[in-house]
Every structure is written in C-alpha cells, then in structure tokens.
Amino acid sequence: MLKRYPLCQITIVAFTIVLLGCDDSRSDRSSPPPQPNRPISSLGAAETIYPMPLAHGQDEDIALLGEQLFFDRNLSSNGSTSCASCHDLNRGGTDQLARSPGATGQLSSVNTPTVFNARFNFKQFWDGRADSLEEQALGPLTNPKEMNNTWSDILAYVSSNTEYATQFNAQFDAGVTKETVLTALAVYQRTLITPNSPFDQFLNGDEDAITDQAKQGFELFDDLGCSSCHQGVNVGGNMFQRIGVMGDYFADRGNVTEADFGLYNVTGIESDRYRFKVPSLRNVADTSPYFHDGSAPTLPEAVTIMARYQLGIELPQSDVDLLVSFLETLSAPPLEVRSTQASASNQAHQGEAR
C-alpha cells in the first residue's frame, strides 16, 4: 500500500512553493505550447502531464541541413568542437559531465542541459537568457568557453563549402547568412523530441506500459507537489524556480559563484537571485549529473536533494526508489531526420579539421 503524506503537510508545501517561487507578481510563465488531448490514464493525477507529440512537424530539408551543422566541428575556432560534443545524442542529449570543455579547453560555468525536447521550454539556458532556439544557438558558437568562433569565420567556412552553399541556396533565398545558419540549427533541434516513452504510452491508455512501482511513484510525485513545477508536455521547462525554497541549498553546498545567481544575472532583480528555469524531466534518467551545478551524480541523490530543499522533507529510501521508478519511464529515444546521406555527411564533418 502506498504511503500517503499528511494532507496538511502537502498543502503547506504546495502553497509555499507557489508563494515563494512558482507564481509571483511578475509572471515567469509564457503561453505553453499547444497540448495534445488530455490523457486518459486511470490516474487522475496524470492530468498534470501530457503525452509528447509523435511527430516533429519540421521542414525535413532544413532540418537535415541543421543536422550537418550540429555535428560539424569546423564551426568551432580550431575544428575540435561541435554542438554534438556537449549535446551527445547517445548520452541523453548531454555529455554527462558536470562541466563541459570547450574548443580551448576551458570549462563551462554550468552543467550542459539536454538538447532533447528543448523546443518545449519557455526559455533557453538555465538562466533563461534566450527566448528561442535561434537565440540559444547564437551563444555557444562565439562563446570563448564553448566553440570560441567569430561570425566572420563561421560564414566564410560555410560559404566556401560547396555542399553547404548549395543546400543553403536551395533552402533560403538569402543563402548563407548568420540568420539562416541559426534557423537551420534551430529547426534541427526542434526535431529532437522523445515521444512514445513508457509513460506516454501509459497516458494514452496502456495500463501495462509501466510497472505498478512506477505508478506508485507517479502518485507519490503528485502527492508531494512535484507536479507544481514539473508538469505539461515537457514535465517542466515552463517556469523559473528558486533553488532552496525550504532550505539554503547554496549555504550548505558552499563555494557560491556568479553562475549560481541564475536569473538574477539576466534581470538584475534581487528576488531573482538563485532562480533557474525548472528543467524538463523527460529522459532525466539519462542526463546525469544533475542541477545547474552538476552536483548530484545520480538520480536518487537528485531526488533526495530536491525533496530536502524544495519540499522540506527527508524521503525514506523506499520513496526515493518509487520516484526513480516513475522518472525512468519518461525516457525514449529522439526522433531521427531520416537520411543516410546526411548521416554519412555528419561522419565526414566530424572527422574534418580546419
């Protein structure tokens, strides 16, 4: 029998989360993406999470062009680093490192978030400084800690590549420009969705798609108030939240850096200090280590820390196990842009050096 937490405790926790983080006088939430039909699972709590669309709906030709760019190390200053270096499609759309090395060997300031399902996030980056995937793609290409390139060199390289020039001229009236490069990358990233996970199948009516333990884990997830911040089609990614609603996470962790200030670095508003975009929990079992600082090496540790600092409770191991069982059902492989030609081209680009 699933242990239920006292209603008064859950009510107080949920109210505190809303009061302190999820909903203040300045709305942090954009209009969510169009949601599919409401789920038909027998669990009433499943109304907080929606199934992932089964198709990406993007222009395939532009997506294939963006895919080539995504895997091309020559977009970095020294031919060493591609977008896929940090966003490895075989590692949950991340590199599974606490900090990512860039073209010059410098480490990133924060943990690399997954590229999977990023199209459903209302903002991009942990601190929400980009409003779109096009704006997001703009950052890493020229960031000294990442690909360390310049737009003049990027455009010179892409324009001089006959294959690229032909494709850009075919897809865009303007040919190779900064804007069309960013568009191609963004369109490709919008194809990287992970539909039909076991939990999606469960939401769509297949009661046998997940185990009884996972079902109990989801009930507990909802009972604890986790779905106050992790909901919708992306199971998160649609609001900002303060890390440490019910405890001082940063004082306990120590060694606070500017990267820990989160949204404050964008807005300069004191109440935004330590607030970050709530991450999606899609494919979360594949994206360790966790949090913006990469401080939690395993999913059970991440669950325990979130309960402590966001809910103010210490979970018994049995409840951690239930929650992890549920979270593991959110994983699925990304859709592919199907082209053997593009795949062969990606391998060639990966092996090139400027």
Write down all domains in the chain, each with its CATH number in brackets.
Answer: 7-54+195-328 (1.10.760.10), 60-193+335-351 (1.10.760.10)
What is the pLDDT, as a whole number, of residue 164?
98
Please, is 273 exposed, middle or buried when counting C-beta atoms within 10 Å of its C-beta (0-12, 13-18, 19+)? middle
pLDDT at 11 over 70: no
How far, in whole angstroms, is CA 98 from its chain's centroid? 15
pLDDT at 184 over 70: yes
The CA distance from 34 to 300, in Å, is: 32
Nearest residue to 289 (alpha-carbon basis) of 101, 81, 90, 91:
91
Q: What is the DSSP letter of 103?
A: T
CB of 130 within 8 A of CB of 115?
no
What is the pLDDT, as a whole number, of residue 245?
94
Find where tokens 């540790």 sit: 301
Instruction: Kindly report whether the peptide bond that precedes residue 289 is cis, defined as omega within 30 degrees of 0.
Output: yes
Task: For strands 275-277 and 240-242, give the pairing.
Answer: antiparallel
The CA distance from 328 to 15, in Å, is: 28
CB atoms within 10 A of CB 26: 10
Nearest residue to 89 (alpha-carbon basis) of 118, 116, 65:
116
Find where tokens 């009236």 sit: 173
Q: What is the DSSP letter of 274?
A: T
Find where tokens 């943990």 sit: 111
The CA distance from 176 to 210, in Å, is: 47
Nearby residues of 164 by Cβ (< 8 Å), 6 or more positions away = 65, 68, 158, 176
How far, in whole angstroms, is CA 200 from its chain's centroid? 18
pTM of the model: 0.86
pLDDT at 36 over 90: no
What is the pLDDT, as a whole number, of residue 133?
98
Mean local confidence (pLDDT), 200-229: 96
Please, is 53 exposed, middle or buried when counting C-beta atoms within 10 Å of its C-beta (0-12, 13-18, 19+)? middle
Mean local confidence (pLDDT), 19-40: 41
What is the pLDDT, as a whole number, of residue 46?
53
**Cα maximum dimension of the chain:** 66
Active site annotation includes 146? yes
pLDDT at 34 over 50: no
Per-residue tokens: 76? 């970095």
Nearest residue to 210 (alpha-carbon basis) of 9, 85, 4, 43:
43
- DSSP E strands: which ranges in the chain? 240-242, 275-277
Mean local confidence (pLDDT), 16-25: 42
CB of 187 within 8 A of CB of 177?
no
pLDDT at 343 over 60: no
134, 146, 219, 328: which one is catalytic?
A: 146
pLDDT at 170 over 90: yes
